[in-house]
Chain A
Amino acid sequence: MRLSLRAKVVLVALVLSLIPWVGYLHLTQMDALLRQGQEQALLATARAVATALHDRPELLELRPGAPASGEMELILKSLARAESRIWIVDQRQRLLALAGDLKKRAPGEERGAAAPAPLDFAMRMVRPVTDFLLERPTEDFDDALSEAEIAHGPVAASALQGVPARRWRHSPDSRAVILSASHPVWAGEQVVAAVVAEETTNAIRSIYNRALEQVVAVTLIAFLAGALTLILFASRLSMRLRRLRDEAEAAIDSQGRVRKLIAGSRAGDEIGDLSRSFSTVLERLAQYNSYLENMAGRLSHELRTPIAVVRSSLENLKMQRMPDDAGVYLARAGDGLKRLDTILTRMSEATRLEQLVRQPDHERFDAREVVRGCASGYGAAYPQKKFEVEVPDSPVMLSGAPDLYAQMLDKLAANAADFAIGEEPIRIRLEVRDSQATLTVSNRGPRLPEAMAGKLFESMVSMRRPDGSGEPHLGLGLYIARLIAEFHGGSARALNREDGSGVVIKVKCTLAE
C-alpha cells in the first residue's frame, strides 16, 4: 500500500486517541472511590443516628398518628446529610420516624467553577454527544418509600438482626440509583430498631459525567490541535519534497542540458541537504556532459599533430625512390589518412560551430530563400532521393545567420536522405504559426528507437548501425542542427510520424521582430 507522507502523519496522530481511554480508566476508578466514600459516609450517618438513639428507648415509643417527637426530629435533622433521607423502623416493621428528602431542594444546574473558555466551549460542543451517550442524573424520579421496602427491605432486616448493612438499589421507576445504609439501635442487649439512611448517586453521577465531558473535550482539543499541526507540518514537508522532485525531474531537459536546483537549496534541514547534494550530482553530470560535448573538439585538436606527422612522413616517403609494391601500401595509408581527416573535419566542425554560435552577430534574413535555395541543391546532391518543398507565400524573417540556417537544413536533409526508404519524397516544409517559424523535414523510414528519445540531438549520439561504407558516423549532424536552432532562438525535436511510417524532425525558431 502506498501511503503519502501526510496520511502517515495522520496515522501517527491517532496515538492521541489513547488520551480518552486513559481518562476513562481514571474516571472509572474515581467513580468507584466516590461510591465507596458515599457508602462510608452514609453508614456513618446511620451509625450516628443509631448511637444517638441508643439507650433512649422512650424516643422509640410509637405514638401512632403523631410525627416523630421533637427530640427525635432534632437528632435526625442535626445528623442528616443534604439530599438524604433517614427513617427508623422497629422490630414490628413499623415506621417510627422519617426525615429528609432524596430530591435536591433547589433544582438547577450548578456546575462548580467554570472551566477555562476554550475548554468550556469545547465541553458545550461535545455535550450533545455526551448527553446521548451518558446517563444524566435526573431529579425527576419516584422517591416513594414503599411498604415492602420498610417491611422486607434487606437493609432494614439486616440491621434489625443487629448487623449493619448497605445496599444499592434502583428507585421504583428505575430512574435513579439509591444507596441505603442501615444500623441497629441497641437497647441493652436487644435491637429495638433499625436506622436506615438513603441517598441517591446523583451527585456522584454528575461529577462523573462532568469529568468525562472534560476528558472528551480536552482530548478533542488536543487531538485537533495536534492533528492540525501535524498535517500542516506534513503538508509543508510533502510540498517541499514534491517541489524538489518536480525540479529534479525537470533538471535534465529533453536536450540533455542540466539546470541547477533551486527548491530547498537554502534550507538548513535534511531536505536542504538533499537538494544540495542533488545539485552537486547534477553539477557533476553537467561537467561530464560538457566534457563529452567538448571531447570532439579536444580530440580533433590533439589528433591533428600526430596526423600531421603521419601525413608529412608519407609525403616525404613519396618523394623517395621506392620498391614497386610500396605504392600499394602508400595508397592504403593515404586512404586511411583521408578517413581520419574526414573524422577530424566533422569533429572540428561541431567545435567551430559551438564557437560561432556564441558570437552575437545576428542578421535578418528570409528563411524561405534559404530553404528554396538549399532544396534546389539537394536534387543534385542526392540523385537517388526525391525532395518536396513547401514554403509560405509571405516572407519568413528570422534573426540569425542564413549560412548557418542553410548548414542546419543540410544536416537535416542529409539525415533524412540516409534514413529514407521507398519512393516517397522527403518533405521539407516551412510554416509560420504563433510567431514561430517551424521547419519540418519528414521522411519515410524506420521509427526512432524509444531509448533514443530526446538524446538524438546530443553530441556524439548516433542511432546508425555501421554500414560498412567506411563513412564515419559521429553523431554530430543533429547536434550541429540543434546548436544552430538554438542560435536562432529555437529548438529541435525528433518525432515519429503519427502513423509510424517514418520520422519527422521539427525545428522551431522565433520570428524576428
Chain B
Amino acid sequence: MRARLVRLDQSGILPPMGRIVAIVEDDPGIRANYADMLKKHGYQVRAYSDRRSAADAFRTQLPDLALLDIGLGDEPDGGFTLCRELRAMSAALPIIFLTARDSDFDTVSGLRIGADDYLTKDVGLPHLLARISALFRRADLLAQPPATEDVLERVPLRLDMKRFQASWHGNTVDLTLTEFWLVHSLARFPGHVKDREQLMRDAHIVVDDSTITSHIKRIRRKFQAVDQEFGAIDSVYGLGYRWNA
C-alpha cells in the first residue's frame, strides 16, 4: 500500500510530495530525464514505455496526472487511445499530451478527446512543471467547495484564477490551460496590445507565431460556441492581439 502523506498547506493545496505522475513515453532518454526531474521536485513517478503496460497499470491504480506521448512504439496513435481509456476511467484526471507532433490536426484531436493540455517536446522543464502544478491546483480546487475566490472580472468575462475556469455571460467556456493563460494575459489589461512574445511568456509556451495564431483562433471559436456575437479578441496586424473591453 502506498503511504500517502496528506498535508495541507495554507491555501489548502496538496504539496507535490506523494502525488503520482505517470509518464508514457517511448523514448528512454526523455522518459528517464522527465522522471528524474519530477522526482527531484517531489513527485512520485511511474514511467511506461508502451500503451499496453501503461493501460494495465492504470487499471490497477490511476495516477494523479498523466503525461502522454502520442506515438508509442509501433502505435502511431497509441497516446490518443490511452487518453480515451483514461478519460473513461476518470473524468477529472489531468492529462497532458507531450509530443513531437505539432500539427493543428493533432492538437485539435488531442484536446477533443479530453486532454487538458497539449505541449510539444520543445517545452522547457520549468514550463512543464508550472503546468503540472497548475493542473494539480485546479484538480484539487474542483474537488473542494470554493473557500476563497481569486477571480478576474471583465464583464461579461469571468476568470477563476484558482480553478482555471473561464465563463462568458455566466456560461462556462471550456479552455485548456494554455488557452486560459492566453485569455488571462489578454484580459488582464484590456485595450493593451499583447505581442506574440508576451503571450508565449504568459502561457508558458515556446512556439512559432502561427501556433499562437491557431490558439487564438481556437479560443475565439470556443467563445463563439456560447456567444455568436463574441468579438472581444482583436487582431492588431503586425503587433499582436488586444482584449476589447
Structural contact, B122 and A373, CB atoms closer than 8 A:
no
**Known contacts A301-B101, A356-B214, A374-B238; A348/B208 CB under 8 A:** yes
What secondary structure prevails in chain A residues at the interface with B? helix
**Known contacts A305-B30, A313-B33, A373-B239; A319/B40 CB under 8 A:** yes
**Residues in B152-207 with C-beta less than 8 Å from chain A:** 206-207
**Known contacts A305-B27, A315-B125; A410/B238 CB under 8 A:** yes
What is the CA–CA distance of A304 and B237 in the complex, to the nearest angstrom?
30
Interface size class of A (residues with CB under 8 A): 35 or more
Structural contact, A349 and B210, CB atoms closer than 8 A:
yes
- Interface status of A238 (Cβ within 8 A of chain B): no
- Interface status of B213 (Cβ within 8 A of chain A): yes
Interface string of A302-323 (1 = CB under 8 A from B): 1011111101110110010000
**Known contacts A349-B209, A373-B238; A355/B103 CB under 8 A:** yes
What is the CA–CA distance of A16 and B103 in the complex, to the nearest angstrom?
71
* CB of B193 to closest CB in A, whole Å: 9
Which chain B residue lies CB-closest to A375? B238
- Interface status of A376 (Cβ within 8 A of chain B): yes
Which chain B residue lies CB-closest to A320? B40
**Known contacts A316-B33, A351-B103; A369/B208 CB under 8 A:** no
- Interface status of A370 (Cβ within 8 A of chain B): yes
Interface string of A340-366 (1 = CB under 8 A from B): 010011101101110110000000000
* Inter-chain contacts of B81 with A (CB < 8 A): none
Structural contact, B208 and A315, CB atoms closer than 8 A:
no
Structural contact, A406 and B34, CB atoms closer than 8 A:
no
Structural contact, A312 and B100, CB atoms closer than 8 A:
no
Q: Which of A304, A355, A372 contacts B122 (CB 8 A)?
A: A304
* Inter-chain contacts of A372 with B (CB < 8 A): 237
- Interface status of A403 (Cβ within 8 A of chain B): yes
Structural contact, A304 and B214, CB atoms closer than 8 A:
no
Interface string of B1-45 (1 = CB under 8 A from A): 000000000000000000000000001011001101100100000
* Inter-chain contacts of A374 with B (CB < 8 A): 237-238
Chain A positions near chain B (C-beta within 8 angstroms): 300-302, 304-309, 311-313, 315-316, 319, 341, 344-346, 348-349, 351-353, 355-356, 369-378, 402-407, 409-410
| Extra A-B contacts (7), CB below 8 Å, given A352-B208, A402-B235, A409-B238 | A307-B122, A309-B30, A312-B37, A316-B36, A356-B104, A373-B239, A410-B238
26 pairs of residues in contact across A and B, judged by CB atoms under 8 Å:
A304-B120, A305-B100, A308-B27, A308-B122, A311-B122, A312-B33, A312-B37, A315-B33, A315-B126, A316-B36, A316-B37, A344-B122, A345-B206, A345-B207, A349-B210, A351-B103, A352-B210, A356-B210, A371-B237, A372-B237, A377-B238, A378-B238, A402-B237, A406-B238, A407-B213, A409-B238
